[in-house]
Each structure stands twice: as structure tokens, then as C-alpha cells.
Structure 1
Amino acid sequence: MTFDYNTTRRKLILAEYGRNVQNMVAYICDLPTKEERNRHAQVVIDLMGFLNPHLRDVADFKHKLWDHLHIISDFKIDVDSPYPKPSPDAIHLRPEPLGYPQRRIRYKHYGKTIEIMIERAKAIDEPERRQQMVESIANFMKMAYVTWNKDSVADETIISDLRELSHGELNLEDNVNLTKVEVRPNAPGVRQKNVTQKTNNQNGKNNRQNKINRPKNNGKRY
């Protein structure tokens, strides 16, 4: 006795129409005359629209049904379609591969954006505006440093890194005070506390305190 499993059957091209529709389309492809194929194809188109009523809300849904008919037949059906036959290349069009950026980042915790901002600041000729830009970059660098490192950072470190990244063209005074940045609880690299464990420890502490404060009755029964 032979069993017919889905794994041994031909792969469903458009699973939303089911295997019966695919078998009917294959049957139409083997019909000898175009007149018969056209008549049967129209019946299958009506059935496909009945099986997928949501397509009626799509603009020009009949065109979509005829396109699906050609796709299900693997573009082998020969019928007089009221719409142009779709091209297999257009259906299975693959996008162009995207090249992954291969740019080296000097300090990854600052990111590539900082390097771009530094180059923009170096191109500013107006001294006052350039100095404001340098201070903004330094504050951003400090925020980025604290975000990816759980420890605080000295302003001198930021100023030194800024001087290195700009090849000595952007400088801040050593006594400048950058914006104070605090370590965020949810920042990357910061170890999170176990809230459940903390709650359990607090509950245990409260229970021990209640036992200590509980009045003693010296074994008397009331």
C-alpha cells in the first residue's frame, strides 16, 4: 500500500490557493485546445477569487488573479489573458547586494559619527562657531563614553581623545568643565541588579525584624 505524503508531492507555488487549485491549473495546461483552456481558466479564476475574497479590496484584483494563475502554472499555461503575461524575471527579481561598510573606527565607543563631526568642525573658519562646535563634540563624546562604560570618565581623557582624533587641530582648555553625565541604570555595560532578589532580601529582613519585635507571653495561654 502506497501513501501519498505532502513531502513527496510537488511543492505548492502559492499555498494560499491550496493543492486542488494547483492540480486544476496543471490539468488546464495539458488540455489540447486553447478554447478549452480559456474556458477552464475562467472557471479557475472565479474559484481563486472565491477562495481569497480579501483580494476584492485590492485595486484591479482581476489582474492580480490572472498573474497568480500564470505563477501557479510556472508560466507554462497558454491562455488568452485579458492582461499582459507577467515575466518570471519580474516575479523572482532579486535586489542588488548591499556592500557592508568597511570603515575603520578609531574608538568604537565614540562611533563613526564623532569622526564625521570632527571633520565638519575642522572645516569651520569662524573661531567662535568652531569653538562651540568643539565643545558640543566633547560633551557628546563624554556621553558616549559613559553610555558604553560603567565607570565615569575624566574631562582630561575626553580632551585628549578629541585632540588625537582631530590630529591636534581641535583643542579645548584643560580646565574646561564638560557637562556632567551620570551612568544610566539601563546603559550597555552596566550590571543590572536583580530586583527579585532585592525584594526577597527585604522581605526576609522585615520578617526577622517582626520576630524580634513580637511580644513574648512567657508560655501563657489565653
Structure 2
Amino acid sequence: MEEYTMNALSYNTERAQLHIQEYGRNVQNMINYAKKIESREERNLAARAIIDVMGQLNPHLRDVEDYTHKLWTHMYIMSNFEIDVDSPYEIPEPESLSERPKIMNYPRNKSKYGHFGFYAEKMIEEASENEDVEEQEYLTELLANLLKKNYLTFHTQNVENSAITSHLKELSGGKLKLTDISLLKPTNTILKQVGVAPKKPIKKHKQKKRRK
């Protein structure tokens, strides 16, 4: 009895590695057994029964599009692509599952002044083409404040209004000119809007003269 028990016991370290651990050792053993069934009809019945068990063990896969297809793919992976059954889906190639995803090309938009941002400069370009004088004046004020806001978001320090209007004129090719700089919001107001505390000026302490 003792000899039988020792032979029957097996440790995980001695067992074959699971291909997909989520399904557990029992499902892996069922697939290993199904591979050896000589009758194709019985092997197909066993495969469908295994698919049902796999679906019950992983109900979250029901939320995945075409989850049944996913289960069949998992069964092939767990069988090391050695199970010969009539699948309702095309049998996947092992190489296709190991391919690395293609690298996506991200747009690399360059802006002349990084602190203003590409889209702000794009808006300036489009606004400069607006032929409606009244609307262009409105857009000029709006974009000038946007430039100042974007600048302070990155630098969190004061910037001369004349510098903002100068950049706006430059980026628009001289078409957008804000003559009244009082239309620009105060620096402290913008910093509060973007959630940045304005920097306090450093006080210079006067050195006391030593008595001789």
C-alpha cells in the first residue's frame, strides 16, 4: 500500500509544464488523452466536450468577441498543435501566434515653439486665413491668451505680454496682431486656472553693517 501511494503521488515540479495555466492540470490531461484516441469520431466528441469544460472554467471569455474561436485556439496551443480533430474554425499556425505585433507609427508633429504646442500653431495658421475681419479679431484675442496659457503651463513664470503678441504675429505671418495687450489675462489668473501656484519673488535680505 505504501509503495503504491508513493508511485501514485507526483509533484508539480515533475509534471509537464502547462501551456495555459488558467485551465489547470485536469484540462491539460484531458487534451493529452484526447490526442491518443484512435477513433476520429470519438476524438471529435472528446474535443467538443473539452471545449465545453474550458468555457465553463473561463466564463469571462464570453465577453470576448467570438469566444468559441478563442477556446478552440487555446485547445490547439495546449495540445502543442498535435490534436487532429475537425475544428469549426481554421487551424491556426504556430508561427502566426508567436509573431510580434507590428510597430505602430505615431504622428510626430513638430512645432516651432514647443511650449506653445503643435495644435495651437495649427489653429493660428487656420485663423490667419479667415477673411472675416470681426471674427479674426476675436480669434486673435482667443489665440493670444491660449499661447500665454500654454507658455505658463510649461514655464510657470511670468512672461511679457509683448513677447506673446510678438510670437503670435510671427506664427501667423503677420496676419494676427493684438494691439491691445490689456486683453491678455493676468499671469496669476492663468496660473490659478491651470492649477499652478505662482512663484514668490525671492526677497533679498539686507546685510546689517557691523559696528566697528
Q: 1:113 to 1:3 in 2, by over 3 A?
A: same
The residue type equivalent to 1:20 in the other structure is: N
Distance in 1, Cα, partners of 2:194 & 2:12:
55
Distance in 2, Cα, partners of 1:84 & 1:45:
13
Match of 1:124 in 2: 130
- 8 Å CA contact 1:29–1:76 kept in 2: the answer is yes
**Cα offset for 1:67?**
4.3
Question: Are 2:157 and 1:146 aligned?
Answer: no
Match of 2:176 in 1: 170
**Residues 14-53 of structure 1: pairs in structure 2 closer than 5 A:** 14-53=20-59
Q: 1:92 to 1:111 in 2, by over 3 A?
A: same
TM-score, normalisation: structure 2: 0.68
TM-superposition CA deviations, 1:63-104 (whole Å, max 9, x none): 6544432343244322134x2235348866765432233332
SS in 2 for 1:184: helix
**Cα offset for 1:133?**
0.9
Question: Are 2:106 and 1:100 aligned?
Answer: yes
**Cα offset for 1:178?**
1.0
The residue type equivalent to 1:172 in the other structure is: L
Match of 1:73 in 2: 79
Q: 1:46 to 1:174 in 2, by over 3 A?
A: closer
Match of 1:207 in 2: none
Q: 1:55 to 1:179 in 2, by over 3 A?
A: closer
Question: Are 2:10 and 1:5 aligned?
Answer: no
- 8 Å CA contact 2:111–2:117 kept in 1: the answer is yes
Gaps of 5+ in 1: 192-222
TM-superposition CA deviations, 1:8-37 (whole Å, max 9, x none): 944x33321013322331332243331342
1:87 is aligned, of 92, 97, 105, to 92
Q: 1:140 to 1:72 in 2, by over 3 A?
A: same
Distance in 2, Cα, partners of 1:117 & 1:142:
14
Question: Are 2:184 and 1:184 aligned?
Answer: no
SS in 2 for 1:5: helix
- 8 Å CA contact 1:29–1:78 kept in 2: the answer is yes
- 8 Å CA contact 2:125–2:171 kept in 1: the answer is no
- 8 Å CA contact 2:153–2:194 kept in 1: the answer is no
- 8 Å CA contact 1:147–1:184 kept in 2: the answer is no
Distance in 2, Cα, partners of 1:114 & 1:56:
45
Distance in 1, Cα, partners of 2:120 & 2:154:
15
Distance in 1, Cα, partners of 2:166 & 2:68:
68
The residue type equivalent to 2:152 in the other structure is: V
- 8 Å CA contact 1:155–1:177 kept in 2: the answer is no
Q: 1:58 to 1:115 in 2, by over 3 A?
A: closer
**Cα offset for 1:135?**
1.1
Q: 1:189 to 1:64 in 2, by over 3 A?
A: same
Residue-pair matches, total:
187
**Cα offset for 1:175?**
4.5
